[in-house]
Amino acid sequence: MVAPALTNRRAGTAAAAVLALAFLVLMVVTGALPRQRQFVKFEAKGVMQLAPERISAVALRSGEHGTVFLRTPDGGWARDGGAPLDSAVAKRLSLAVQYMNTSEPVRVMQPAEFQGTNPHEYGLDHPQLSIALFADNRPILAAHFGGRNADGYLQYVTVDGRRELFLLSRFVGEEWNAVAKATLQP
């Protein structure tokens, strides 16, 4: 009795091994990998659809002070005059650009929702910060950061050429403000 059970177990193990090997051979021949449904395909849902690494220049303005940054051949950033940015500031600038591509607005207000209101209510009569992003000397996006919403977690943003009013997570504007604070003269 022990011998047939042991033989059946070995036969089952051998059959499973042959099936697994056949599956691997089939994958190699067809070139197909099994689809992993637990992985979510990334989709850029920010206000900028262009890949962040394609941005070659950034114009930043806060109040009366402004500056321009140019991407260097190594992927870093330098001031318009050629002076390289401190590596910590360059990382923050790259992250801020990336957020414009990846950070989906928490809410998009249609013009009918804010029609007749004063831009002052959103802090947009005098934006705290304005940015313009360029790729190959072509303007890609210009955005203006206003005040925060009542709970302080979201920030009002307008984008030139679009009629909506966006509510972005405050960390997007905080990254831009950190770059401005580190680079703009008071």
Rounded Cα gap, residues 111 and 44, in angstroms: 24
pTM: 0.76
In a domain, 16, yes or no: no
In a domain, 37, yes or no: no
In a domain, 145, yes or no: yes
Residue 124's domain comprises 52-183
Domain count within the chain: 1
In this predicted model, what pLDDT tens digit does every residue of 108-141 receive, in sequence order?
Answer: 999 999 999 999 999 999 999 999 999 999 999 9
In a domain, 66, yes or no: yes
In a domain, 1, yes or no: no
Token pair for residue 140? 């890609």
Relative orientation angle of helices 170-183 and 87-102, to the nearest 10 degrees: 150
Q: What angle do CA 88, 179, 60 make, to 5 degrees?
A: 140
User: Hunting for tokens 């977690």 — which residue is that?
Assistant: 153
In a domain, 154, yes or no: yes
In a domain, 29, yes or no: no
In this predicted model, what pLDDT tens digit does every residue of 41-93 receive, in sequence order?
Answer: 667 789 999 999 999 999 999 999 999 999 999 989 999 988 999 999 999 99
